[in-house]
Amino acid sequence: MKKKVLALFLAAMMALAATACSNNNSGSSSGDSNSSGTTGESTGGEVDTSEHVVINYMTLGDIPTNQTDAALVELNKVLTEKANAEIALRWIEWTDYLTQYNLALASQSGDLDLVVTATDWLDAWPNAQKGAFLELTEDLLKTNAPKTWEQVEAAGHWDDCKLDGKIYLIPEDTYTQWINHGMFYRQDWATEAGLEDGIHKFEDMGTYFQWVKDNKPDCIPWDVQGTVSGGIAGLSDAWWQSHTDDITIDGFGVTLFKGESKDDPYHISKYLLEGDEFVNFAKTMKEWNDAGYWREDVLNNKTDTRQAMYEGLSGADQHHTETYYTTVRPEMDKKQPGSDVGMYYWGEENGNLVKMVTTHGAMAVAAQSQNPERALQVYDLMRFDQEVYDWMNYGFPENYTLDEETNILTWNDDYDTTTDAVTFNFWGGRNDEMQHKNSTYAWEPYEELQAEYDEIAIEYPYGQFVPNKDNLPQLENLSAVANQYMPQIAFGKTDDPEGLVAEFRQALKDAGYEDAIAEVEKQLAETYGE
Amino acid sequence: MKASKAVTADRPSQHGFLYRLNQNKVLLIMCVPAILFFLFFSYAPMPGAYVAFTNFNYNGGIFGSPFVGWRNFEFLFTSGQLTLLLRNTVLYNLVFIILGNIIQMFIAILLNEVACKKFVKVTQSLMFLPYFISAVLVGLLVYNMINYDYGFLSNLVRSMGGDMPKLYSDPNTFPAVIIIAKLWQSTGYGTVVYFAAICGIDASMMEAAKVDGANGFQRIRYITLPCLKGTVIILFLFAIGGIVKGDFGLFYNLVGTNSVLYSTTDIIETYVYRCMMNTFNFSQGSAVGLFQSVFGFVLVMVANGVVKKLDSDYSLF
C-alpha cells in the first residue's frame, strides 16, 4: 500500500518535472519562431524602431565602481535618440570567468542579446556548436547592421565567422592590436646586468633574473603565479615559440596542437612527443627554479605579479603587447620612474610571430534574444557612431580634450582612472577609424615594436578552422595530463627533468595524443583541402 | 497538485493510509517544509540526470539532445586514474569521518563537563566560525602560514634556527595539511551536534551514577558514550553516502595547480575539473556526478543493511 502510493507520487513528480521541461522547450521554440517571423518582416525593407527596447549586453569584467553607470545613462539617451533602444549591462566577473560565461549562455532565457565573445580566449565556437548564438543571416546583417556588413565584407572576413557555412559572429577585425605575449622587464636593471640593448632572446631572461636575484634582495626576479594563465603558458609556450617554427592553433583550450611551420601549417608538430628541444626546456627551467628566479612555492603563489612589479617587488611580468603599452609601461613610468620598462616578445629571436585571429574579439547575438534586429542596429551604432563610440570607450567628454588634427586624446590633470574611467569592455567591435590616440599610452616603444612586428608577422593560418571536439574524445584526458605535468616541467619542480619529460610523453601517448594529432590533421585537411 | 489528486483518486483502498495521515497530521505539517525541500531540490530534478547520457546542446535542452549512451562516462574509466582518484577520495573521507567524529565527540564531552555556561557558549561560537569561512580564504590562510619563502610558520621556525619543510613540494606530508584544515573547519559544527545529543541524555541517569559513586571518567565511559552510539551511527551512515564525493572547494584552493602534490591530493572532483576546464562539457560533468551518486547510494544501502543486521534500532530505515 505504502509503496504503491509512493510510486504513484514519484511518477507524478516525474511527469511534473518532464512537463516543466517541455514547457520550457516549447516556450523557447515559439520564441524562435517569433523572432524568425520578425526577421522576415524586417528584411522586407524598412527597419521598424517604433517600440523602445532594452538590449542586454553581456561582457566580461568586474562590476565597475567608476563612472560607468553614470555614463550608461548618457549613452542610453543617445541610443534612444538614434535607435529608440537602450542597453543594459550584464557582467561576467573575472573569477572563474569561462565557467560563468558558458553557464550564462547555457541558461539564457531571452535575457541576453549582444554577447561579447572570442574564438581564442572564450569558447565562441563550442557555444555556437551547442546553439547558444543566433545565426546571422546575410539579410539580417545587411538590413540592421549595414555598415558592419560592408566593412567586414570588404575585408573578406565573414569566412572567419562561419560554422558550417553559417555566420554566427561579427569579428572585431578593424581594430589593430597586438596580443602576442612577452616578458616585461626593467631596462634600468637590464643595463646593469650587461644587457644594454635589452632582452632579445629567451636565455637573456635568465641573465636578467640572475642579476635581480644577486642585486635586489627584496625583489623576487619574477614573482609569478604558477597557474596556466599566469606563468605556465608564459614559460612553456614562450620556449616553444622561440625555439621552433611551430604555430599555435586556437580553440582547443589547451596548447597541445601547433602547426609545423608557416610553410607547412596543416601538419601537427611533434615537439612535445619527440626531440631534444622540449627536454632542453625542462632542464633550463630546473636550473632557473634551483637558482630561485621564482618562489619556492610558485605553484601555490597568489601574488598579483603586476602589482608587485609596480611596487618594485617583482623584476618582471608577463602579458601581451596591448597591456605593455597601454598599462604597464605608463604605470611603471609613474610608479618606478626611470625603470624604462621594455618588452621581450616570444618568438623575437627566431622571427616566429603570428597575427591574431580576426575573432580574438567578436560580437554574437544570443540565440534566445527577443530583439535580434534591434540588437544589431545598436551594434552598428556602437561600431560606427562616433558619439556612441566615445561614450563607451572614453566616457564623459568633460574628462578629456581631443585634438582634432592629431586625434590625440588628453586626459584632464585631475582625471583618475580608478574613479573617473568608464569600462564597457567593448571588445567585440572596436574600430580604428573611431579610435583616438590616448595620450597616456606609451606610443613610442609601441611603435617601435609594431614596426618590427609588421616586418615578420604572418597572418593567422587557421582563421576558418573550427575544431570538432566530438571526434576528439581524447581531449579531456589529454587536458588532464597536460595540466598535471606542465606545471612541474615549466617551473622545474623535479629532480630529474629528463625523466619527467619521458613520463609526460608516455602519459600523452597513453591518453591518445597520437590519435588526436591524426584527427586534428584530418579535420584541418577537411577545412583547407590539400 | 497532481500528486494529491493521485492519492485522492483511489480513496477507497487507501483508508488506512488516510486514517494514519489524519492521526499524525501535526507531525506531518511540521515535516512539510523538509518534504517540500527534498521534493523540489532532490526528486524533481532527478529526471535531469538523463543529461549524462546525451550530447547536450542548448536548443535541444536536456531531453531533446541526442542520446549517446555511456560515452560521457568513458573518459573517467579510460584515464587510468580512476583507482588513484577513488583511493584518495575514499581515504580522505574515511579520515575526515573517523578522526572528525572522534574529535567532535571528545570536545563535546569536554564542553559538557565545563560548569561555566558562558565559557561553553563562547567556545562553541568561536569553534563554529571557521565553518563559515570560504575555502578560497582557507587556501590563502594556509598559504600564508606555511609557504616556504615568507610564510608565518616558516619565519617562526627559521627565527628559532630550524628549517621549515617544503610542504608544497612534498606529496607525503601535504595530506596532513589538508586534514588539519578540514578538521579546523568542520569540528565546531559537528561538536554542536554531539553536544546537543549529550544534552538530551536523561539527567537522572547521571545523578543515579553520581549517587552510586561513579567518578567523572566512569560516567563518560558508561553513560555518555553508550548514549551517543545512535548519533554516531546515524552520522556515519549519512557521511558514507558522500564517501566518493570530495570537498572540491577545499582541495582545489589548497592544492590548486600544484601538480607535484597530485599523487596524494587528487580527488575525483579536482581531476574532473582539470579535464573539463578546457572543454566545458556539461554532460560529462553530470556523468561523473551520477557515478558518484550511484556509488554513494549503493554504499549507504550496504552500510545500512549491515547496521540493520547487527542492531536494527540504529539503522536509518
Residue B15 banded pLDDT, cuts 50, 70, 90? low
The C-alpha atoms of residue B40 and residue B35 are separated, in whole angstroms, by: 9
What are the chain B neighbours of A251 within 8 Å (beta carbons)?
none
* Secondary structure of residue A98 in the 3-state scheme: helix
Better-scored residue on pLDDT, B5 or A467: A467
Segment A214-226 mean pLDDT: 93
Q: What is the dihedral of CA A138, A141, A146, A151, to 10 degrees?
A: -70
DSSP letters for B226-277: HHHHHHHHHHHHHHHTTTT---HHHHHHHHTT-GGGHHHH--HHHHHHHHHT
Window A:198-257, CB contacts with B under 8 Å: 226-228, 232, 252-254
Interface test with A, best of B39, B279, B281, B288 (most A CBs within 10 A): B279
| pLDDT tens string B39-56 | 999 899 888 889 899 888
Q: Do B260 and A299 touch (CB under 8 A)?
A: yes
| Region A175-195 average pLDDT | 94
pLDDT at residue B313 tops 90: no
Higher confidence at residue A22 or residue B97?
B97
B251 near A CB under 8 A: no
Tell me the chain B residues in contact with residue A99 when contact means C-beta distances shorter than 8 Å: 277, 280
Nearest residue, CB atoms, B58 vs list A20, A22, A367 = A367
- Give the C-alpha separation, B38 to B286, whole Å: 19
Question: B299 vs chain A: nearest CA distance in angstroms?
Answer: 23
Contacts of B262 in chain A (CB under 8 A): 484
Here the cell at position A85 is 533602444
Q: How wide is the angle at C-alpha A379 spanned by C-alphas A373 and A380, nearest 5°?
A: 95
When pLDDT is cut at 50, 70 and 90, the band that residue A247 belongs to is very high
Nearest CA in chain B to A250: B278
The answer to whether the Cβ–Cβ distance between B271 and A480 falls below 8 Å is: yes
Interface of A with B in 259-298 (CB under 8 A): 295-297
By the CB < 8 Å criterion, does B173 face chain A? no
Is the model's pLDDT at A253 over the cut of 90?
no
In angstroms, what separates the C-alpha of A384 from chain B's closest C-alpha?
Answer: 32
Are residues A227 and B57, on separate chains, in Cβ contact within 8 Å? no
Spatial distance between the Cα atoms of A463 and A159, rounded to a whole number of angstroms: 8
Question: What is the structure's pLDDT at B303?
Answer: 87
CA distance A230 to chain B (A): 11
For A282-299, give one letter per residue: b (16+ CB within 10 A) or e: bebbbebbeeebbbbbbb
Q: Does B163 touch chain A (CB under 8 A)?
A: no
C-alpha A142/C-alpha A163 separation (Å) is 19
Residue A341 bridge partners (DSSP):
A186
User: b/e string for A359-368 if b means 16 or more Cβ within 10 A?
Assistant: bbbbbbbbbb
Pairing of strands A437-438, A408-411: parallel
Residues A427-478: tens digit of each pLDDT: 999 999 999 998 889 999 999 999 999 999 999 999 889 998 888 888 888 9
pLDDT of B72 reads 87
CA A338: distance to chain centroid? Answer: 31
Q: Report the C-alpha gap between A465 and A125 in whole angstroms.
A: 10
What's the mean per-residue pLDDT of chain B?
A: 87
Q: Would you place residue A211 in the very low, low, confident or very high pLDDT band (cuts 50, 70, 90)?
A: very high
* B71-314 CATH: 1.10.3720.10
Distance from CA of A43 to the nearest CA of B (A): 24
Hey, are the CB atoms on B259 and A483 less than 8 Å from each other? yes
Say how many CA atoms lie within 13 Å of A187 toward its Cβ. Answer: 16
Q: Which residue has the cell 567593448?
A: A426
Cα separation of A86 and B37, whole Å?
40
Q: Convert the pLDDT of each residue in A355-377 to its tens digit.
A: 989 999 999 999 999 999 999 99
| Number of CB atoms found within 10 A of residue A171's CB | 27
- According to DSSP, the residues that pair with B15 across neighbouring strands are none
| A394: nearest Cα among A443, A435, A441, A446 | A435
What radius of gyration, in Å, describes the C-alpha atoms of chain A? Answer: 25
Contact yes or no for A351/A417 (Cβ under 8 A)? no
Whether the pLDDT of residue A389 is over 90: the answer is yes
pTM: 0.80
- On the question of pLDDT at A37 being above 90, the answer is no
| Region of residue A198 (left: phi > 0; alpha: psi -120 to 50; beta: else) | left
Q: Which residues of A419-435 are buried (b: 16+ CB within 10 A; e: fewer)?
A: ebbbbbbbbbbbbeebb
pLDDT exceeds cutoff 70 at A29: no
What pLDDT does B59 receive? Answer: 77
The verdict on a CB contact (< 8 Å) between A473 and B74 is: yes
Instruction: Give the gap in angstroms from C-alpha A89 to the nearest C-alpha of chain B.
Output: 23
pLDDT tens digits along A70-125: 999 999 999 999 999 999 999 999 888 888 999 899 889 889 999 999 998 898 99
Rounded (5°) CA angle A67-A70-A74: 130
Q: How confident is the model at residue A30 (pLDDT cuts 50, 70, 90)?
A: very low
| pLDDT score for A5 | 53
- For A268, A320, B105, the CA distances from A430, given in Å and listed in that order, are 33, 18, 63
Is A103 part of the contact surface with chain B (CB cutoff 8 Å)? Answer: no
pLDDT at A230 exceeding the cut of 80: no
Dist CA B89 CA B268 (whole Å): 7
Residue spans per domain, chain B? 71-314
- pLDDT band of B9, cuts 50, 70, 90: very low
Point out the residue among A16, A18, A487 whose CB comes nearest to the CB of B258.
A487
Q: Give the pLDDT score at B1.
A: 39
Return d(Cα A406, Cα A103) in angstroms, integer: 44
Interface residue B123 vs chain A (CB under 8 A) = no
Alpha-carbon distances of A152 from A173, A281, A458, rounded to whole Å = 7, 41, 20
Q: Is A365 on the interface with B (CB under 8 A)?
A: no
**Consecutive H or E run containing A362:** strand A362-365
Which of B74, B148, B276 shows the shortest C-beta gap to A296?
B148
DSSP designation for B131: G
Diameter of chain A by CA atoms? 89
Cell 623535479 belongs to residue: A494
In chain B, residues 76-105 whose CB comes closer than 8 Å to chain A: 78-81
Residue B163: pLDDT band (50, 70, 90) is: confident
- Do the beta carbons of residue A369 and residue A35 sit within 8 Å? yes
Interchain CB distance below 8 Å, B169 and A296: yes
Report whether pLDDT(A33) > 50: no
Total length of chain B: 317
Contacts of B281 in chain A (CB under 8 A): 476
Q: Among all chains, which residue has been given the C-alpha cell 523572432?
A: A35
Grid cell at residue A251 = 580553440
The percent of residues above 70 in pLDDT, for chain A, comes to 91
pLDDT of residue A23 exceeding 60: no
One-letter amino acid at A458 equals I
pLDDT at A405 over 50: yes
Task: Give yes or no for A63 touching B (CB within 8 A).
Answer: no
Residue of B231, B225, B209, B233 whose CA lies nearest to B109: B225
d(CA A198, CA A185): 9
Nearest in space to B45 (alpha carbons), one of B314, B292, B290:
B290
> What are the pLDDT digits (tens) for B172-181?
999 999 999 9
Q: Do A98 and B280 touch (CB under 8 A)?
A: yes
